[in-house]
């Protein structure tokens, strides 16, 4: 099976796109960071290190300190595919993050986004 191209893409390449997407909708970079930290367990310093070192998506998720067990509560459609039905674990993690970014960009309250 061929790996998806996104797996080898540096997370730092996509991060500014996440931030720009939410800022266009009146949200903040701090909220993007909060989502990433909630999902992966990275703290602010670790996240900055990941961005500076241009860690790829595969390593970003593989080396995440603690993936949030509540991420399985993330449901819905992203890019025409239901995130809860994605078979490939790494792709599912990436789509979970995409879904969370979409939710804050659409104005969903942060408590609901973080499944609190």
pLDDT for residue 2? 56
What would the two tokens of residue 24 be?
């266009």
pLDDT category of residue 4 using cuts at 50, 70 and 90: confident
| Phi and psi angles of residue 81, each rounded to the nearest 5 degrees, phi first | -125, 135
Fold of the CATH domain 5-108: Helicase, Ruva Protein; domain 3 (1.10.8)
For residue 5, the model assigns a pLDDT of 87
How much is the mean pLDDT over the chain? 94
Q: Is residue 98 very low, low, confident or very high in pLDDT (cuts 50, 70, 90)?
A: very high
What pLDDT shows up at residue 68?
95
Question: What secondary structure, in 3-state letters, does the chain show?
Answer: CCCCHHHHCEHHHHHHHHHHHHHHCCCCHHHHHHHHHHHHCCCHHHHHHHHHCCCEHHHHHHCCCCCCHHHHHCCCEECCEEHHHCCCHHHHHHHHHHHHHHHHHCCCCHHHHCCC
Delimit the domains of the chain by residue range. 5-108
pLDDT in the model for residue 1: 45
């Amino acid at each position: 099976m061929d790996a998806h191209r996104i797996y080898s893409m540096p997370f730092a390449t996509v991060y500014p796109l996440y931030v720009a997407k939410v800022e266009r909708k009146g949200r903040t970079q701090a909220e993007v960071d909060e989502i990433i930290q909630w999902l992966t367990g990275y703290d602010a310093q670790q996240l900055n290190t990941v961005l500076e070192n241009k860690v790829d998506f595969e390593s970003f998720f593989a080396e995440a300190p603690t993936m949030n067990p509540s991420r399985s509560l993330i449901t819905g459609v992203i890019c025409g595919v239901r995130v809860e039905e994605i078979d490939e674990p790494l792709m599912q993690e990436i789509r979970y993050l995409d879904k969370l970014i979409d939710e804050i960009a659409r104005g969903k309250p942060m408590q609901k986004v973080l499944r609190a």
